A and B are shown apart, each in its own frame.
Chain A
Amino acid sequence: MKHLRAINKKARRVDNYVASLGEDVVGLQNNQNPTPQQRPHVPMGCALAFSPGWEVDSAGGTAGLCQPVERDIYDCYVTCFWPSQVPDHLNNYPDWASKCAAATKDWRNLDLVFP
């Protein structure tokens, strides 16, 4: 929102109020809980990212993923940790991976599902 600029008194008062919320800087300050760096917006949870084949790590990149990425695919439904879309193993498609012992080698054996 840095491209917005206050142009009247009321807007400037809002700006000043927001600025006043920041804490003062003091000598020898050692902030124990620094404001976390803003991170990319990644839809969390397997069931929220409706982009088949799209997989990123918690920083929005791919450096934290397994290599190759097929190593991660099963954890999308076991721990539901990685934000990518896989069939709903627990409720509707319990057998979608039953023909695939090693995802890296046999991913073609994974079942397609059509919800």
Chain B
Amino acid sequence: MGAYPNIVMIVDTTDGKVLERIPLVTGLPTGLRLSNDKKTIFVTTNDHSGVEVIDIATRKVINHFVLNSETHRYRLNGAAPDPDGKVLYATTTEIIKHADRFEIGKPKYTVIDLAQQKIVKTVDSSSAQGDTPDAGGGNGGGAFEVSPDGQYLYQFRNQVVVMKSSDFSIVERIDLGRPDDPSEDSLSLGGLQEALSEPGQRVTLFNFSDPIVHNKAFGLAHFDLNTRKFEFTAIGPAPVSMTNLRVTPDKKMGYTVVTEGTLGNKRCEVWGIDMGSSRLAKTSEIPCRSRFSFGMSPDGKKLYMYGAGFEIDVYDATTFQHEATWDLGNDMRGGMIGVP
């Protein structure tokens, strides 16, 4: 997991000990993303809009570069690698430093070549998508996923937008929206990978509202990234916010943390969802953190509440009981990736 001021930590999930701190060259990590072959980790960094690639076997940074220059800066959002791990698809906002002012550009769809270590293509979102482009708004328009054949991009936001990876033109829009996630911020790398399961498939939670009464409900959606087909099962009324779904390796259970209320009235519950029947199987209230991320151990037996600090609260995935608090010594940043 990423941590301040500029490291990626390797943590033993049995006892919470930090096995290694991998120093990053380009600054503070903002997002981590596992490659499709699970051999490398892509890291985006904050200070100079950097990208780094970590080899999991050797635990070394094998590629790093920054997008910023003296006069051009970029805000990088929602990046996802292509199936070969050669390019990243993202949305960027370019900031040009003039003699007397900064000029903030419009969000653009961007292709970053990892070998050439630079942006090789940008497409103006409004020219690609007309008057209602999908690259703007919070979180840069949402996280990307790439289909296994590399032909299509999926952007998850208040709709699921399917685009051609060649020119970012829209192929299809699906009226399912990602729930508000308290752990999401404006700088992110990665989409639904952690919610997944198998190559080419994604399983996660979505909100939808009916066209008559507009009641918001949430449910479980199974996406096939190859065929662009999805299967959605409604579960119940949509809560105020939910974290990403974490699915156990045996694909029987999924977990999310639901937040109701705001500020001092906030309540948090862990929800266990039976993936076979798409039904809520178990809930339990847990202490809320003001800001947090939600994770799961690679074996699916432990649940983690972390972020905004240096501690991970560990819960048993079966009983939802608090088991331990791990002190990692560094404030955490970005996502958590489980590597067996």
Name the distance in Å between B334's Cβ and chain A's nearest Cβ: 10
Name the distance in Å between A60's Cβ and chain B's nearest Cβ: 10
B5 in complex: contacting residue of A63, A64, A71, A97, CB < 8 Å: A97
The residues of B that contact A67 with a CB separation of less than 8 Å are 290
A11 at the interface (CB under 8 A from B): no
Complex contact A79–B333 (CB within 8 A): no
Which residues of A40-71 are within 8 A (CB) of B? 57-59, 61, 63-67, 71
Q: Mark B261-293, 1 if CB is under 8 A from A, else 0.
A: 011101000000000000000000000011100
A89 at the interface (CB under 8 A from B): yes
Q: Mark A62-89, 1 if CB is under 8 A from B, else 0.
A: 0111110001101100110100000001
Q: What is the CA–CA distance of A84 and B186 in the complex, to the nearest angstrom?
A: 18
The residues of A that contact B240 with a CB separation of less than 8 Å are none
Q: Which B residues lie at the A interface, using CB under 8 A?
A: 3-6, 27-28, 30, 46-48, 73, 185-187, 262-264, 266, 289-291, 308-310, 329-331, 333
Complex contact B4–A102 (CB within 8 A): yes
Q: What is the CA–CA distance of A75 and B28 in the complex, to the nearest angstrom?
A: 12
Known: A66-B291, A71-B308, A71-B309. A102 touches B330 (CB 8 A): yes
Q: What is the CA–CA distance of A106 and B333 in the complex, to the nearest angstrom?
A: 17
Known: A67-B290, A90-B73, A105-B310. A78 touches B47 (CB 8 A): no
A22 at the interface (CB under 8 A from B): no
Q: Mark A7-22, 1 if CB is under 8 A from B, else 0.
A: 0000000000000000
Nearest residue in A to B46 (C-beta to C-beta)?
A: A78
Complex contact A103–B185 (CB within 8 A): no
Complex contact B264–A79 (CB within 8 A): no
The residues of B that contact A104 with a CB separation of less than 8 Å are 309-310, 331
Name the distance in Å between A95's Cβ and chain B's nearest Cβ: 8
Q: What is the CA–CA distance of A101 and B333 in the complex, to the nearest angstrom?
A: 11
Nearest residue in A to B327 (C-beta to C-beta)?
A: A102
Interface pairs (28), CB distance under 8 Å? A58-B263, A59-B262, A61-B263, A64-B263, A64-B264, A64-B290, A71-B290, A71-B308, A71-B331, A72-B290, A74-B4, A74-B331, A75-B291, A78-B46, A78-B185, A79-B185, A89-B46, A94-B27, A97-B5, A99-B5, A100-B4, A101-B3, A101-B5, A101-B310, A101-B330, A101-B331, A104-B310, A105-B310
A98 at the interface (CB under 8 A from B): yes
User: Known contacts A74-B333, A81-B185; can you find 4 more A-B pairs with CB under 8 A?
Assistant: A72-B291, A78-B185, A101-B3, A101-B331
The residues of A that contact B5 with a CB separation of less than 8 Å are 97-101
